[in-house]
Amino acid sequence: MATILIVDDSPTEAEVVRVMLESEGYTVLWADTADKGIKTAEEKHPDLILMDVVMPGMSGFQATRKLMRNPDTRDIPILMLTTKDQESDRAWGLRNGAREYFVKPPEKEALLAQIKTLI
C-alpha cells in the first residue's frame, strides 16, 4: 500500500489523520516541522504529502515550494491540509505546487477520494 507523509506541527491533528489513513491501509509517516518534512520526503520518497500551512519556522507554503523545486521530490503530490480557509491562501498553496487544498477538519470521503486519484 502507499505511504503518506503528514507534515503538521499539531500531534493531535496528525493523529486524527493518521488513524483515518491507516484504517484505509496506508502507511503513514509524520514530521512535526516543515524542515523535517522536507528531509523525510527526500529520504523516504512517500507517495503523497499532506502539508499543514501554519508551522513554526518554515511555513507549509515555503516547504511545498522547496519540494516542487527539488528534482528528487517534485513528482510527489502535495495536498495542503490546514485551518487557513481564505481563498487567497488556497490560491497561494496551489500556486506553490500543491495539487489540492483542504481546510481542517477535512471531510473524510472527499479527502480519501482525492488521495486515491493522486496515488
Over the stretch 64-82, which tens digit does the pLDDT of each residue have? 999 999 999 999 999 998 8
Quote the CA–CA distance of 43 and 72 in Å, as a whole number: 10
The reported pLDDT for the residue numbered 104 is: 83
- What global pTM score does this model have? 0.92
Quote the CA–CA distance of 51 and 40 in Å, as a whole number: 13
Check which CATH number belongs to the domain holding 85 and give it: 3.40.50.2300
Domain that holds residue 22: 3-106
CA 84 to chain centre: 14
User: Does some domain include residue 115?
Assistant: no
Compute the average pLDDT of residues 2-28. Answer: 96
User: Does some domain include residue 12?
Assistant: yes
Q: Which band of pLDDT confidence, cut at 50, 70 and 90, is reported for residue 87?
A: confident
Phi (first) and psi of residue 101, to 5 degrees: -135, 115
Q: How many DSSP H helices and E strands does the chain contain?
A: 5, 5
Residue 86 amino acid letter: Q
State the total domains in the chain.
Answer: 1
